[in-house]
Amino acid sequence: MKNKKFFLEILIKWNRNENNRQMPWKGEEDPYKIWISEIILQQTRVQQGLDYYNRFIKTWPNVKKLAGANEQSVYKLWEGLGYYSRCKNLIASAKYISDELDGIFPNKYEEIIKLKGVGPYTAAAIASFAFGQPHAVLDGNVFRVLSRIFGIEIPIDSVEGKKLFAELADELIDKKNPAGYNQAIMDFGAVICKPVQPLCIGCPFQKKCIAYNNELVTILPIKEKNIKKRQRFFNYLLVEKDDKFYVKQRREKDIWHNLFEFALIETDKLIPANEFLKSVELISLLREKNFTCAKVSEVYSQKLTHQTISGRFFHISVNTVPPSFNNYAHVYKKELALLPFPKFITSYLQD
């Protein structure tokens, strides 16, 4: 389809006459607020992210406030959103902007994309919404709309596909109103051209949509990669002595980086509780056989993008502090609520 002029005309007309999708950051021009909303929404549904966004802006209304915040408090507010590398990058970028750029948010796409955690989509969103620069956004909604309307069967996650869609998006964008265009196409994908049960009947693109007219709606867009999920089994030890529990931060390059956790023994399968309490790994960690297990939880589970975590919580009382716990913090039970834990642990603590 060589003539693509129709796309912008139909999209803008729909946006002007029919689009009533409301979001608190819609029309926002403050690059800091746009940045916060986009980072939160990278892996989070709008409904879930809204409260987090509002709390973030209320607590740290500008980049200098965020840069000067206690990191633990930032992670605590982020608790429950998952994908904690986003939070880590947010803190690092806030400090960079505050320290190196005098608190002034970069105003060019080429500089915005250098911020940690900011990719082409987020950089384009900030550049267009805050500074009116003609950079087209490419998120799941946009891939889906363009793939279906123009009948593109090249996988969206292939090198060729990413290049083709990027070129098409840049060709279609309204150079005079890039912010309005970007918001409109994302809204159209979210409201009309939905992943499941799109509203094809009554869609203003119906006559032009190649996918609709060739029964390809349920097939497009195409992805070439299927995520293979890893299964992991966590056994958490709530080791207690003198009414205090031992906790530490996760520092290794793995999930939940910088969040707190209890002593952990990971196994390659879910082991019956009675067997686990006699295991070499447990006895070696505690350095004694004289401990008491007062409680064993039911099995908890959390699904992440690339893996599923399953496991139990064991309440352990010890007579002496094992040497392996010297690098753990020793906190009272009431203090646990102040620490940022992964959802897997908070789900148990809140039950």
- Per residue in 281-331, pLDDT tens? 998 888 766 788 999 999 999 988 789 999 999 999 988 888 888 889 999
Distance CA 233, CA 254 (A): 14
Please pick, among 9, 38, 171, 215, the residue that the annotation labels catalytic.
Answer: 38
89-131 pLDDT, tens digit per residue, is 999 999 999 999 999 999 999 999 999 999 999 999 999 999 9
Q: According to the model, what pLDDT value does residue 226 have?
A: 62
Check if the beta carbon of residue 107 is closer than 8 Å to that of residue 131: yes
Distance CA 62, CA 68 (A): 10
179-231 pLDDT, tens digit per residue, is 999 999 999 999 999 999 999 999 999 999 999 999 899 999 998 876 578 89
Q: 198-216: b or e for each residue (b if 16 or more CB lie within 10 Å)? A: bebeebbbeebbbbbeeeb
336 falls in which pLDDT band (50, 70, 90)?
Answer: very high
The domain 5-213 is classified under which CATH number: 2.70.180.20, 1.10.1840.10, 3.40.50.2300, 1.10.340.30? Answer: 1.10.340.30
Distance CA 329, CA 327 (A): 7
Distance CA 19, CA 11 (A): 10
Q: Which contacts (CB < 8 Å, 24+ apart) does range 167-174 have? A: 169/136, 169/137, 169/138, 169/142, 170/134, 170/135, 170/136, 171/4, 172/4, 172/7, 172/8, 172/136, 172/146, 173/134, 173/135, 173/136, 174/8, 174/12
Q: Is 38 a known active-site residue?
A: yes
Q: According to the model, what pLDDT value does residue 143 have?
A: 96
Q: According to the model, what pLDDT value does residue 3 have?
A: 67
Stretch 261-283: mean pLDDT, rounded?
92
47 falls in which pLDDT band (50, 70, 90)?
Answer: confident
Question: Of all residues in the chain, what percent carry a pLDDT higher than 70?
Answer: 98
Q: Which fold has domain 230-350?
A: Nucleoside Triphosphate Pyrophosphohydrolase (3.90.79)
Q: Tokens in use for 99?
A: 């320290």
Domain boundaries of the chain, sorted by first residue: 5-213, 230-350
Check if the beta carbon of residue 195 is closer than 8 Å to that of residue 225: no
**Where is pLDDT greater, at 44 or 313?**
313
Q: According to the model, what pLDDT value does residue 227 have?
A: 59
What's the burial of 297, exposed, middle or buried (CB within 10 Å: 0-12/13-18/19+)? Answer: middle
What's the burial of 304, exposed, middle or buried (CB within 10 Å: 0-12/13-18/19+)? Answer: middle
Look at residues 311, 348, 316, 340 and name the one whose alpha carbon lies nearest to residue 244: 316
